[in-house]
Structure 1
Amino acid sequence: MSVVGIDFGAQSTKIGVARNKGIDIIANEVSNRQTPSLVGFGARSRQIGEGAKTQETSNLKNTIGNLKRLIGRTFSDPDVQLEQDYTCAQICDVNGQAGVEVNYVGKKEKFTAIQLVAMYLTKIRDITSKELKTPVTDVTISVPAWFTDVQRRAMLDAGEIAGLKVLRLINDTTATALGWGITKLDLPGPEEKPRRVMFVDIGYSDYTASIVEFRKGELNVKATAYDHHFGGRNFDKALTEHFADEFKEKFKIDIRTNPKAWSRTFAAAEKLKKILSANPAAPLSIESLMEDVDVRALVKRDELESMVQSLLDRVTVPIEQVLAEAKLKPEDIDSVEMVGGCTRVPAIKEAVSKFFGKNLSFTLNQDEAIARGCAFGCAILSPVFRVRDFSVHDIVTYPIEFTWEQSADIPDEDTSLTVFNRGNVMPSTKILTFYRKQPFDLEARYAKPEMLPGKINPWVGRFSVKGVKADANDDFMICKLKARLNLHGILNLESGYYVEDMEVEEPVPEDGEKKEGDAMDTDAKSDEQPKKTRKVKKQVRKGDLPISSGTASLEQGFKDNWIERENSMYMDDKLIAETDEKKNELEGTIYEMRDKIDSIYADFASDEEKDKLRTKLSDLEDWLYEDGENATKSVYVAKLDEIRFLAGPIVQRHREKADAERQAILQAQEEEAARKRAEIDAKRKVEEEAKKTAEGTKEDKADAEMKDAPTEGESTPENAETEKQ
């Protein structure tokens, strides 16, 4: 079972996985640690991720990015209209949802943003499965904190279409905070002052600031503020607009009239922006941009800052808002963590640092912090991984109210109630009580529509409570409804039941009666006396109330159709990829065999065999570049078999000789090794015999010396002579 966290970004996506006792960010098929969030449509198949990025310039009108900016939105939303500035594909209305119209397999097709995100998540699933060598289902996906109920439901639907089980949708800055806090061993205890950290996340398209309090084993999000239209792409667009004016004046070309030229300039502006983050000036050069004109320009960092001054003036606005909401001052913040690619811009770092009057913290990987936090979040929810106990308490982003029709029997009844206030802890459950004599409906909606991004409909859901009726005395039924804002930040009316006020008897403790914890027993006779009781009214659950819900989630029929369509397109893409692979294999085999028949295979084929093979290769080459350009996989396989049929005997002879030579070499090596071993053994034997001989000589010499030495009391000739004298 895998543990996967997905940082689904507007420009690119990062994938974190739990393994090797930590979190790894995995690379895609071209070894990049981030995958472009792009879906492209072609004449034969789809290209997703890196494939879409490769052909983006040549297929602009059929390549779609900024997917998370479109999901869960309507075509009429002004924020969706704004996205047209950042994509050349035609954004359109698809059954009330924002989508795109593209050319796919030779015909015009429309796809909703949910379908596009599902296509992309399928690619992410495949990248992860290939890396982990196991099927991937359970994931955690990051979303902006400002996502509404409809956007979150759309993300869950997209995940289901892609064959993923989304364990949790986690807010971007909450994921970052989790990744930061779960590894800290020095957090304050429950009774100590919490450590307050502000996370400033400025990515490609939006800006979020959150204040999070940390204690040992838990984090509490205190407040969050955001700017939906502040990110790296706004800097890129400002640069591109500047170059458009400069090129029009200097080179007499108008890139605003040419989507391809605009796109190339936009990509070059992004690279230049990154260079300017580390250098005071940077050049731009694009060959044959438009009408065969080569363009060049030089931009200084202060020039860029003047272009985006209106943006820089907004840098501290979300920070001020989040501090005001948390009722804190800048000095109350212990550290400021900067994440997101756009926080590398020097002017942004300087503005935030100046606001707080202290150095900023960059201890997290600015690009991968969210993915790591998502993976930790998934590991916490997974039954197969042991993770340090760490509680995550997020907050409600927008206040949610319930409204209902006034009961005719209760003329002064209120008809609305804000159930979940902004800043309430999430997940959260509330019990609503109604007095009714007949079935009734409730509607959930956001209490302050002006807080929502764009023009998103504040409606959240409609719920019908069934089975309600008056009792035998024509009194109200007391209805209890359980409303829950779950881990994903999605509202549901989970269950309903009705209760009755009933009188029940409960014992009344008497003076002198033994209470729990008394040190001494009372007289045994007291047990025989009747105990006093009292009647109290209590609400007793009597039965369930069926609830039918109408929410922004996809109807099951639609979902099933889109799952079937996605699976069909996926299999088509897979077949096309396998067909291209076989076509490339055939082309490579033709060139390889043509070269080898005159080199390494030359001595293993007769002239007749060579002529037949050359003729076949030439015919297949002509066919491949004419009639065989768009053949099927089975045809390419058959053509490969034709080559193998003619070349097989030749290749076999070469292989047999090579095997024989290899065997001879191995045998020679073994004989040489045996010879060396024999030499070593012989040398060792000689050395041992020499050693034994030397030891024997020493022993003989020692014996001789012992034999010549005089024993005690024996006289030598010299001594004898002395004695005579």
Structure 2
Amino acid sequence: MSIPFGLDLGNMNSVLAVARNRGIDIVVNEVSNRSTPTIVGFGEKNRYIGEAGKNKQTSNIKNTVDNVKRIIALDYNDDDLATESKYFNSKLVKLADGKVGTQVRVGSEVEEFTATQIAAMFLGKVKNTVEVETKSPVSDVCIAVPAWYNEEQRYAIADAAKIAGLNPVRIVNEVTAAAVSYGVFKTDLPEGEEKPRIVALIDIGHSSYTCSIVSFTKGECKVLGTAYDKHFGGRDFDHAIANHFADEFDAKYKLNIRENPKAFHRLVIAAEKLKKVLSANSTAPFNIESVMDDLDFSSQLTREDLEQLVEPLLSRVTEPITAAISQAKLDISNIDVVEIIGGTTRIPVLKNAISNVFNKDVSSTLNQDETIAKGAAFICAIHSPTLRVRPFKFEDIHPYSVSYYWDKQVEDEDNLEVFTKNSTFPSTKLITLHRTGDFSMGAKYTNKEELPKSVRADIASWDITGVKLNDNKESIEAKLKLRCDPSGLHIIEEAYTVEEVVTKEEIPLPDDAAEDAEPEYKEIKNIVKKDNLTIVAHTFALDPATLNAFTEKENELFAQDKLVAETEEKMNQLEEYIYSMRSKLSEQYSTFASDEEKQVLNEKLNQAEEWLYDEGLETTKANYIAKYDELAKLGNVIKDRYMAKEEEKRQAILAEEKLAKEAAAAAAAAEAEAKAATDAEGTAEGTAEGTAEPTVEDSADADVDVEMD
């Protein structure tokens, strides 16, 4: 049984959660951290993903890819690329399909990967992390993504999950997942006829800022409005601090640290740590050893200085809030609670700016880092056929209206607005068309002018075949079930033709009807399904051939990573054996080997050590195993003698302990037997004394009697 898995796919760190043990648990990674760096690095032989990638990022800066969620399905000509490029150290390239990809060196080869492939590599890593931690198989996953992800980006992340061997049961907006977490775990929500609680959920993470207005009642929540600033997050604060110190470094040493990617990356990391320190302190030191050209750099920053540096950013706090409230058709006074999540909301000046917009204190009762992942895990559990979860209904909203058209795209005819802006999803609509044969359908955003430049107006198209006309019909009714599914993807779920079937039903005769009266009938017209139609979808999803090719490539890289890990394990095993056997040969095993055996084995150990640190550094798993077996063949003879002697000692000790126990048991039995005999003898004497006493008294009485006589 697959364990339900929820993933908060963060830009800097991702959080993993699973539904188990009648609750939601956060999954720790291999170093026991509750979040995993969203990083994929490439080395000479293998990849470094997650914690390993983070550890090697500075030394492997050009071959390490982060910020991957920002470039998924991004056109190379998109205006956003200029903004995103500032945060990338790996090379971004234009792929054959016009999308942004990354170029890295894998071993001696330069390779290009799509953002979907990079995301799949990371998803494969976290899948393995969950399986190792839970000791359970994982297939179903609910992935939380930014609210600004369009249909193409949602398909791309779903494809990445499939490449990693996962089944994406739902792609959910991050703040919507947080809303589910709020609604499920809060115990004081209104119910029945009580007024719903209106909550402004604000999420400011590493790279984006989202505000959703959500209505809550017990067992249900409904998103009323969502707005965002996709280029406002913690990384902007980090770079503001880093650029401040870069200017200071330039003024002091006349060196431009921005021209050195490794040095500037270290500066950004230090800036992020400083930002966290200043969230709890009024001033903090700033120190980096050997940051560039063997120069150490020291400075300090106060919280007031930080507030001045980020003042331009704070002016952008208000817009997403007012836009979300406007979309919800509410006023700021209607907001009951302001709940903040995301690591960046811990910055005091930012928290105060949000509080000032609402003119009320903000709340942080949810876990700011983990609530999205927990909500996603609960949503995944809802989709599980084997688990029962607490009933909870939630709805999201369409950011744009969507129209469907048929035969050909005409602006003012042959199209129908099916899903209106701000309407809820998931939702299903049934439409009827009169068709004369096979036809095509398409879906598009209704109002192009509302769309960001990066969002395409066309969403998907479908070829629908199998329309059969009756001989006497010029057209036939085709019914199409149009759906915006739980992931916000627009699909045609079902298509079929119907026909009118006329049947005759006998009308019961009145009681006074003549015996030979002719029966009368009435016609009943029924609409019945005639034929199921075949639907061939053309969406943003990868075609099967490309999906298979990417999956094979991922499996190949995974196998290589596994081989490298196993090879390193065997190398470490050999190294450990060399040093362990050498030490034991002079101590524990000393009396169990002849001088000749010691000399031969020591020579072998020295030769193996020289080989290991010379040509053995770049060899195969099989060679390490062969070298280990060669040493073990000699060493195990001596080890067996030692173990035999140890076993002999152990058996002797066990025999002594057994004899001691038997002797103790015998002594205890003898003591018990003696005590029983003593007790029996005492009882017998007591009985004899008891019967003699009256006789003595009688004798005494007799004596008295005699004396009296």
Place the TM-score, normalised by the shorter chain, in its bin: over 0.9
Question: Alignment partner for residue 361 of structure 1, among 353, 360, 363?
Answer: 363
Q: 1:600 to 1:360 in 2, by over 3 A?
A: same
Aligned residue number for residue 605 of structure 1 = 593
Matched, 1:645 2:633: yes
Taking a change above 3 Å as real, the CA distance of residues 229 and 717 of structure 1, as seen in their structure-2 partners, is: same
Helix, strand or coil at the partner of 2:120 = helix
Q: Note closer, same or farther for the CA distance 1:669–1:113 as it changes in structure 2 (3 Å cut).
A: same
Question: Residue 7 of structure 2 aligns with which residue?
Answer: 6
Q: How does 1:149-160 map to 2 (within 5 A)?
A: 149-160=151-162
CA distance in 1, matches of 2:654, 2:339: 63
1:572 is the counterpart of 2:560: yes
Aligned match of 2:583: 595
Supply the distance in 2 between the matched residues of 1:526 and 1:428 (Cα, whole angstroms). 54
The separation in 2 between residues aligned to 1:183 and 1:39, in whole angstroms, is: 34
**Where does 1:10-409 land on structure 2 (aligned, <5 Å)?**
10-96=11-97, 97-404=99-406
Task: Deviation per CA, 1:126-181: give whole Å up to 9, x if none.
Answer: 11111222332112211122211111111111111111111111221221222222
Q: Give 1:432's aligned residue.
A: 431
- Tell me the distance in 2 between the aligned counterparts of 1:171 and 1:183: 19
Report SS of the residue matched to 2:29: coil
Output the amino acid matched with 2:55.
Answer: T
Q: 2:603 maps to which residue?
A: 615
Q: In 2 relative to 1, CA 676–179 (structure 1 residues): closer, same or farther, beyond 3 Å?
A: farther
Per the TM alignment, residue 233 of structure 1 is displaced from its structure 2 partner at its CA by 1.1
User: TM-score, normalising length from structure 1?
Assistant: 0.90
Per-residue CA deviations over 1:430-483 (Å, capped at 9, x if unaligned) read 223334445544332223445555623232112234456887667444333222
Contact (CA 8 Å) 1:145, 1:397: kept in 2 or not?
no
Counterparts in 2 of 1:449 and 1:406: CA distance versus 1, 3 Å: closer
Check whether the contact 2:65–2:88 (CA below 8 A) recurs between aligned residues. yes
Q: For residues 62 and 250 of structure 1, what CA distance do their matches in structure 2 show?
A: 31
* Amino acid corresponding to residue 86 of structure 1 in structure 2: Y
Q: Which moved more, 1:393-402 or 1:46-55?
A: 393-402
Check whether the contact 2:466–2:531 (CA below 8 A) recurs between aligned residues: no
Change in 2 beyond 3 A, CA 1:692/1:472? same
Tell me how far 1:195 sits from its aligned partner: 2.8
Q: Please provide the CA RMSD for this pair.
A: 3.0
* Structure 1 range deviating more: 101-110 or 544-553: 544-553
Deviation at 1:351, TM superposition (A): 2.5
Sort the Cα spacing of 1:669 and 1:332 in 2 relative to 1 into closer, same or farther, 3 A. farther
1:494 aligned partner:
493
Amino acid at match of 2:429: K
1:637-676 matched pairs, under 5 angstroms: 637-676=625-664
8 Å contact kept, 1:69–1:80: no
CA deviation string 1:478-536 (max 9, x = no partner) = 33322211121111123333344666778999xxx9xxxxxxxxx96699999998768
**Whole-Å Cα distance in 2 between the matches of residues 424 and 312 of structure 1?**
31
Bigger shift: residues 199-208 or 438-447: 438-447
Could you list the per-position Cα deviations for residues 34-61 of structure 1 after superposition, in whole angstroms to 9, with x for gaps in the alignment? 1111111111111111111111111000
Instruction: Summarize deviations over 1:293-338 as a string: whole Å, max 9, x none.
Output: 1111111112111111122222232222222211223343332322
**How many angstroms does 1:706 deviate by?**
4.4
- Return the offset for 1:117: 0.8
**Structure 2 SS opposite 1:123:** helix
The 5 Å alignment of 1:517-532 reads none
Distance 1:294 1:63 in 2: 25
Cα contact 2:227–2:321 (8 A) shared by 1: yes
- How far 1:350 moved relative to its partner? 2.1
Equivalent position amino acid for 1:565 in 2:
K
TM-aligned CA distance change 1:451 to 1:285, over 3 Å: farther
* Mapped contact 2:467–2:531 kept (Cα < 8 A): no
Contact 2:464–2:534 (8 Å) recurs in 1: yes
- The CA deviation at 1:685 is 4.1
Q: CA deviation at 1:662?
A: 1.8
Distance in 1 between the 2:44 and 2:565 partners?
13
Q: How has the CA–CA distance of structure 1 residues 425 and 716 changed in structure 2, closer, same or farther, with 3 Å as cutoff?
A: farther
How many Å apart are 1:694 and its aligned residue?
4.7
Question: C-alpha distance in 2, partners of 1:255/1:367?
Answer: 32
Shift, 1:423, TM fit? 2.0
Change (3 A) 1:710 1:351: farther
Alignment match of 2:530 (pick from 542, 545, 548): 542
Structure 2 distance, partners of 1:300, 1:263, is 22
Match of 2:457 in 1: 458
Whole-angstrom CA distance in 2 between matches of 1:202 and 1:718: 117
Letter in 1 for 2:132: K
Distance 1:110-1:721 versus aligned 2 partners, 3 A rule: same
Distance 1:412 1:701, change over 3 A: closer
Contact 1:146–1:397 under 8 Å retained in 2: no
Identity of aligned residues (%): 42
1:405–1:645: structure 2 CA closer, same or farther, 3 Å change rule? Answer: closer
Mapped pair 1:443 → 2:445: no
Q: Distance in 2 between matches of 1:471 and 1:531?
A: 31
Aligned residues: 706
What amino acid does structure 2 have at the position aligned with 1:423?
N
The whole-number CA distance in structure 2 between the counterparts of 1:157 and 1:455 is 20
The TM-score, its normalising length taken from structure 2, stands at: 0.92
Q: Distance in 2 between matches of 1:682 and 1:75?
A: 96
Change (3 A) 1:671 1:349: farther
Q: Tell me the CA shift for residue 675 of structure 1.
A: 3.4
What is the alpha-carbon distance in structure 2 between the residues aligned to residue 532 and residue 361 of structure 1?
75
Q: 233-242 or 541-550: which moved more?
A: 541-550
CA distance in 2, matches of 1:265, 1:40: 20
**In the alignment, is the contact (CA less than 8 A) between 2:36 and 2:51 conserved in 1?**
yes
The answer to whether structure 1 residue 626 and structure 2 residue 614 are counterparts is yes
Give the conservation status (yes or no) of the 8 Å contact 1:145–1:173: yes
> More deviation in 280-289 or 195-204?
195-204
Q: 1:414–1:670: structure 2 CA closer, same or farther, 3 Å change rule?
A: same
Q: Please tell me whether residue 482 in structure 1 is matched to residue 481 in structure 2.
A: yes
Instruction: Check conservation: 1:206, 1:226, Cα contact below 8 A.
Output: yes
- For 2:507 and 2:70, how far apart are their aligned partners in 1? 63
CA distance in 2, matches of 1:624, 1:715: 112
Moved more, 217-226 or 451-460: 451-460
Change (3 A) 1:708 1:656: same
- Say if 1:673 and 1:530 are closer, same or farther in 2 by CA, change over 3 A: farther
Q: Which runs of 5+ in 2 are unaligned?
A: none
Partners of 1:526 and 1:401 in 2: how far apart? 59
How far did 1:549 drift? 2.4
Partner amino acid for 1:62? N
Distance in 1 of aligned mates of 2:121 and 2:267: 28
